[in-house]
A and B are shown apart, each in its own frame.
Chain A
Amino acid sequence: MAAFGTAAGRPLTGRGGSPGFRFTLYALLSVVVMYLDQRQHYLERLRYVLQAAAYPVQLAVNSPTAAWRWLRDSAQTRDALRAENARLRSAQRDLELRSMTYEALARENGELRGLKAALPPAADRWLAAEIVNIQLSSLRQRLLIDRGAANGVFKGQAVLDDKGLIGQTTHVGPWSAEVILITDPEHAVPVRIERTGLRTIAVGAGDTTSLALPYLPGNADIRNGDLLVTSGLGGVFPEGYPVARVSEVHRDAVQPLAQVRATPLAHLSTDGEVMLVWFRADHPAAPAGTDSLGELSRGETAMQPQAAAPKPRPAPQAAPAPSPPSAPEPQPTSTQQTTHATPHHAVPEAPAGDAPAATGEATGRATDEATGRATDEATGSPPERATPPSAAVSGEPRQP
């Protein structure tokens, strides 16, 4: 304070002129940074680095919770553990029995629907992640998880728990990723009403217990207790996973739209662990390699949802062997995603997605052109075209 205003007396951080000058400088810098981040997406790299720098703080902040959980776990009695063990074992037996019939059903379904678009919602790989930090205010509903680009996580990846959909990743750092919850006011998820097949969009309402369905007309067939599942449109979420249950339907004769609320099925506020899903390396409606068509009648094991231990993989693009199309509906362009979470992995739309038994190579060619891939004419080819392209056979990454 003594040497206020004289150049010699200024400490290092005080260099750079008067407050007014520095204010102008930094304010301009902020505006430039904002512009670059918002309009140009130039700063993905910077965000990545900053997220890495922020991760230790978030870990430290979470450490009391983590320590408490660890203490509680390690102080559990032998009896409690044994009881849990028994419960888990019976639960596993139950699930195994169920998955047995599930495979049979999936096969039968595939045969009935002509081997084409009949695959079950294909979760190709799952990875468990722990929640490191939680933001659950009415303004922002985000999670921070302890998996990042090093584990192959990518932006716009679907996140589930054992009951239903949780959200998708928004920012991915090297060892951590931010997940936007489906209940965040900025998030919208394309859903289908399971009972009727009606498709709509579920928008977050800002608290963990409700979603809004603002785009349903007053005469829509929807009632309390209807299950909403992901429709697979938009390409971010795999198709057919439970999202929410309708809890409130309001029809006002004056209003053109019904006011519908739904309760998310996932335990958004109490989860300690979530699952990341790689449901397909490419878009659900993308053309598939012929090689897997042969597998289809037997029900390809790799395509079944499985809770097997995840194998670390370098990048999501380098992931699994190509697989047949599963989405029976035409895929619209990805306009239904949230504005800021465009998936990296989504490839251009395949026009042949709506014809399960699409025939003729013309369709396939069109698809190829659309996706810009050097793959085969899978969408339209009959099963006897068993010679698959080399890329598909070797399981190499199919880059668009």
Chain B
Amino acid sequence: MNVDSRGRMLLTAFVALTLTVLPLPPWLDVLRPAFLVLTVLYWSVNAPRTGGIALGFFAGLMLDVFQGPVLGEHALALCIITYIAVREHQRIRSKPAIQQALIVLVALLVYEVVLFTIDGWTGNPVTSPLRWVHALTGALIWPPAAAILAYGAGRLA
């Protein structure tokens, strides 16, 4: 929990952001997990004081700049799920990877529900069922992603 750890956190967030905006063919784009959201979730669970809601907010703002119809949309969605993750971080951390993946699935669905709602409210409704797919791939990729992040972070916190 020092400057160094925060640096690593920002670095992973940056890498995740890069993966999020990387151009991909359309069919792969639908499957692309929300890397930045997963990273923020990881840090919220494993270093709730360093990361947490502030990280979620600013990561969300970056996502809004890249792909949001309205600023603040992803920021709010990420705030909500990071809050849940920070509150329950001890419980989530003690679970085995499979159960963690299930929790992540729920968190990603909550995230998408918030986005879906705001999309509708702001007049940009996207009703395609494909928008929910990334929650599933995100949950699937969670165990390896968490392992990579843990390795990179050298077991912080």
Contacts and interface: CB of A to CB of B under 8 A. Distances in A.
A30 B79 contact: yes
B80 interface: yes
B52 A47 contact: no
A340 B122 CA distance: 10
Interface string A49-78: 011011001101110010000000000000
B50 A50 contact: no
A186 B75 CA distance: 22
A347 to B, nearest CB: 26
B6 A19 contact: no
Interface string B112-139: 0000001000111010101100000000
A142 B79 CA distance: 26
Contacts of A14: 49-50, 52
A19 B76 contact: no
Interface stretch (A33-41, A214-222, A275-283, A364-372): A33-41
A219 to B, nearest CB: 30
Interface string B62-90: 10011101111101100110110011000
B18 A138 contact: no
A87 interface: no
A33 B62 CA distance: 13
Contact of A19 (B1, B53, B71, B123): B53
Nearest to A60: B18
17 contacts: A1-B49, A11-B2, A11-B6, A11-B49, A11-B50, A13-B55, A14-B52, A19-B48, A19-B86, A23-B80, A26-B56, A26-B57, A34-B76, A57-B14, A61-B23, A136-B25, A207-B26
A58 B53 contact: no
Interface residues of B, number: 51
A22 B69 CA distance: 25
Nearest to B17: A57
B67 A135 contact: yes
Interface in B18-40: 18, 21-23, 25-26, 29-30
A340 B124 CA distance: 10
A104 interface: no
Contacts of A386: none
Interface in A1-51: 1, 4, 10-11, 13-14, 16, 19-20, 22-23, 26-27, 29-34, 36-38, 43, 46-47, 50-51
Shortest 4 CB-CB distances between A and B: which pairs?
A33-B72, A30-B76, A34-B72, A23-B83
Contacts of A95: none
A34 B70 contact: yes
A38 B76 CA distance: 14
A50 B17 CA distance: 14
Contacts of A54: 62, 65-66
A249 interface: no
Interface residues of A, number: 51
A11 to B, nearest CB: 5
Contacts of B70: 34, 37-38
A358 interface: no
Which of A37, A137, A339 has the largest count of B CB atoms less than 10 A from its CB? A137
Contact of A57 (B21, B52, B128, B131): B21
Given A13-B54, A136-B26, A137-B29, A30 B49 contact: no
Contacts of A136: 25-26, 29
